[in-house]
Amino acid sequence: MRILHLSDSSLPDWRIEKAAISSKNRGHKVYFAGRKTSQNYESIFEKNFVIPWNSRSRNRFPVYWSKLKKQMNKVLAEVRPDIIHAHNVFSAKMAKEINAYPVVYDNHEYWSIYLMRQLESDASTNTIKSGKSERLHKVFERHLRNFLKSRYVKVWSSLEKELVSSTPTITVSSTIVKDLEKVGKKVYLVPNFPLKSEIDWIPRPVFHQHKSSVYAGVEPTGALKSIHRNIDGFIDLFNNDLINDIGKLYIIGWKSESTPTTEFLGFLGRKEMYRQMQNHSIGIIPFRAHWSHIFISPNKAYEYAHAGLFVLSSSGFVPVFDTLMDHCLSFEDYKDLQKKLKFLFDDMEDLYSKRLKTYEFARSNLLWENYEDNIFEAYKQA
């Protein structure tokens, strides 16, 4: 079988690559068409085709959409795929419009929810701006942008429903599956778990006497703040001189000035990340409550588990609790997080036992291979 992975982004994209690896392991040929990939990327595909997506083509401006479609038809004529595995809504819409080959839609992130969240983040930023003195033309530009973005959300949310109702759909969390099943009957769960080969080398956790936790994430920078990833006050919790019983926090993913109770480790490669995580006892998902969390399944929860960390997460992440079950604990706010950390660190032997159970659970259950059959079932239904 010849499978074309179609995307409006570039490689590397580990979800696309894992799906391709699953197909290659079953003897199929895999191809990729998307934005230009960096020169030092080692491709696992038979051939990489460049499709130059940009904001105008994503907005379906007629000239740009038509030009892109012509390029896509050339790729299809060369590959002649048995299946188009379309990653995210733009490429899926393009493939369905061409209507030459069977299509499976891989919804990496619940697209309409993602757009609503982005619009909310924009509105939050604009509220701050509107409190400042602005020139009249700037106010007009801001309102025009908001109008166009609102229209964009409505158009692509409608197109997502159209795709799900007519196309076998793969997605990342059980809550998204349940919601999309209201629209389409062929919706399949493939969580973003690691391949077995990624985690096989990770040793069993060792007992730690010291009290320390990990947060792995990107630095919240830029004018536009992701409203669903709000960690305001989280790091301050560990730097509060009045709170001294919740251990030290290690932050993977960005550099900043460390303190006696918080240490910033910067960006780490995946193996080094897992090695660093194993030096600690608890992995934290610290985002303040947001309505969209019910659909989000953060990869870091499962990375923590494979590293043998017990997981503490803010309470809205339903997919995390459905997946990890007894191997995680929720908190409502940062005051509650403080209580939960103190409770867990009060008995390091019991915490170590929890870590061992979490590690073993992850190695049996949190694997890409456990769900890859759903990809091929979706292919059959296309």
Cβ burial of 89 (10 Å; 0-12, 13-18, 19+) is buried
pLDDT at 208: 98
Whether residue 47 has pLDDT greater than 80: yes
Tokens of 191: 């969580």
pLDDT at 150: 66
Tokens of 318: 């339903």
Q: Where are the alpha helices (DSSP H) in the chain?
A: 14-25, 55-58, 62-79, 89-98, 111-130, 136-166, 174-180, 196-199, 234-238, 270-277, 299-306, 318-324, 334-345, 348-365, 373-381
pLDDT at 37: 86
Whether residue 134 has pLDDT greater than 70: no
pLDDT at 128: 46
Residue spans per domain, the chain: 2-115+160-193+369-381, 197-366
75: which DSSP letter?
Answer: H
CB under 8 Å to 245, separation ≥6 — which residues? 341, 342, 345
CA dist list (Å): 28 to 45, 247, 368, 377: 11, 50, 18, 15
Whether residue 151 has pLDDT greater than 80: no
Sequence-distant contacts of 125-132: CB under 8 A, at least 24 apart:
125/223, 125/224, 125/225
Asked if the 2-115+160-193+369-381 domain carries CATH number 3.40.50.2000, the reply is yes
Q: Helix (H, G, I), strand (E, B), or coil: what is residue 241? A: coil
2-115+160-193+369-381 and 197-366 have identical folds = yes
- The residue-averaged pLDDT of 146-169 equals 81
Question: Residues 53, 58, 61, 67: is their CA dihedral positive or negative?
Answer: positive
Whether residue 75 has pLDDT greater than 60: yes
Among the residue ranges 16-20, 21-25, 56-60, 125-129, the one predicted with the least confidence is 125-129
- The residue-averaged pLDDT of 88-114 equals 92
- The residue-averaged pLDDT of 274-284 equals 98
CA dist list (Å): 176 to 6, 107, 194, 280: 22, 9, 20, 32
34, 20 contact by CB (below 8 A): no
- The residue-averaged pLDDT of 111-120 equals 82
Percent pLDDT > 70 in the chain is 91
Q: Which fold has domain 197-366?
A: Rossmann fold (3.40.50)
Whether residue 144 has pLDDT greater than 90: no
55 — pLDDT class (breaks 50, 70, 90): confident
Query: What's the pLDDT tens digit per position in 213-227?
Result: 999 998 877 655 788
pLDDT at 137: 62
Please tell me the distance from the alpha carbon of residue 121 to that of residue 129, in angstroms, as a whole number: 13
Give the orientation angle of helix 136-166 with respect to helix 89-98, to 10 degrees: 60
Please tell me the distance from the alpha carbon of residue 271 to that of residue 12, in angstroms, as a whole number: 17
pLDDT at 233: 94
Q: For residue 243, how many other CB atoms are within 10 A of its CB?
A: 14
112 — pLDDT class (breaks 50, 70, 90): confident
Whether residue 163 has pLDDT greater than 80: yes
pLDDT at 363: 98
The pTM of this model reads: 0.89
pLDDT at 147: 58
Supply the mean pLDDT for the chain.
91
3, 80 contact by CB (below 8 A): no
Cα 264 off chain centre by:
22
Query: What's the pLDDT tens digit per position in 291-342?
Result: 999 999 999 999 999 999 999 999 999 999 999 999 999 999 999 999 999 9
256: which DSSP letter?
Answer: -
- The residue-averaged pLDDT of 178-184 equals 96
pLDDT at 26: 98
- The residue-averaged pLDDT of 107-115 equals 87
The strand pairing partners of 252, in sequence order, are 216, 266
Whether residue 153 has pLDDT greater than 80: no
201 — pLDDT class (breaks 50, 70, 90): very high
Length of the chain: 382
- The residue-averaged pLDDT of 69-86 equals 97
Whether residue 139 has pLDDT greater than 70: no
- The residue-averaged pLDDT of 264-293 equals 97
Whether residue 92 has pLDDT greater than 90: yes
Among the residue ranges 110-124, 270-284, 292-306, the one predicted with the least confidence is 110-124
pLDDT at 115: 80
pLDDT at 148: 59
- The residue-averaged pLDDT of 158-171 equals 94
